[in-house]
Structure 1
């Protein structure tokens, strides 16, 4: 056992020495698009492992505006949430964007993220009647975003990454997305 521990220590030390000699570029975040999505009331799909609750929230529409285009959100997307006992929510969403071009393009958005904060704040967010009054600085709503399209005019979105900061406002989700460059 002592040999194994010593070997791991030697490898870790060597890796740290190499890592400290490499100067990797730091990603730059640039505000790239804004999205506002209208929501149907949530449907509870029941409980899951670890005392989680599964929710399904479908989207009824909305709008988006980016540095590279704008348009609407098609009806039918969804947010599949895993809500932990402390009310933090693991978010897994799918949107379909329609561009405002004369011949529209369709772009799929996939997000993965978390909404976390004090239980009393998260409880208020789950109530559309009270969600309007919740200050977005009192909780974290963070997403990783990827997109896909077959339309060559928007091919660049297929290989781009974004992170977003968002909020829940009544029956609406709003977020600003930042290009990771």
Structure 2
């Protein structure tokens, strides 16, 4: 098994909507408002609409659950879903929550990515699993995705 660079994603976000404490943890929804992605075989824009339906657990770990749509440079539409975790020392996570710049090496933020499309040019994505290392800024998530080959 190898990791093949897939694309760098910059996903722009609305402010966090706090839904409150649920049986699973503190539920938050972060709407996706746009962005871009660029890689060796995959590039285009992140379309507005979709979100991260996130849960922050008692220990401070966030469970990530995103679903959104991509449009490639040549007009194909792709569905992407990611799931993952973000956690780190309490002081680091507090700085991140305050919107301060934080070196992504100070916390753990990893994703599993799945794609779906009916466009013949990108059917290979339906059979591709990807993993990513991510970083959170005040208004975006940036991640480097790699196809598992």
TM range (shorter): over 0.9
Shift of 1:100: 1.3
The reply on whether 1:127 has 2:72 as its aligned counterpart is: no
- Is the contact between residue 87 and residue 123 of structure 1 (CA under 8 Å) also seen in structure 2? no
The reply on whether 1:175 has 2:149 as its aligned counterpart is: no
The reply on whether 1:82 has 2:55 as its aligned counterpart is: yes
The reply on whether 1:162 has 2:130 as its aligned counterpart is: yes
Shift of 1:121: 1.0
- Is the contact between residue 43 and residue 56 of structure 1 (CA under 8 Å) also seen in structure 2? yes
Q: Which runs of 4+ in 1 moved over 4 A?
A: none
Partner of 1:46: 20
The reply on whether 1:105 has 2:79 as its aligned counterpart is: no
- Name the one with the larger helix percent: 1
SS of aligned partner of 2:93: helix
The 2-side partners of 1:83 and 1:97 are apart by 26
Partner of 2:68: 95
Unaligned runs of 5+ in 2: none
Aligned residues: 149
Aligned with residue 88 of structure 2, among 117, 121, 125: 117
Asked which structure has the greater CA Rg, the reply is 1
Shift of 1:48: 1.3
Shift of 1:85: 2.1
- Name the one with the larger strand percent: 2
- TM-score, normalization: structure 2? 0.96
* Highest RCO, 1 vs 2 (Cα 8 Å, sep ≥ 6): 2
Partner of 2:44: 71
Unaligned runs of 5+ in 1: 1-26
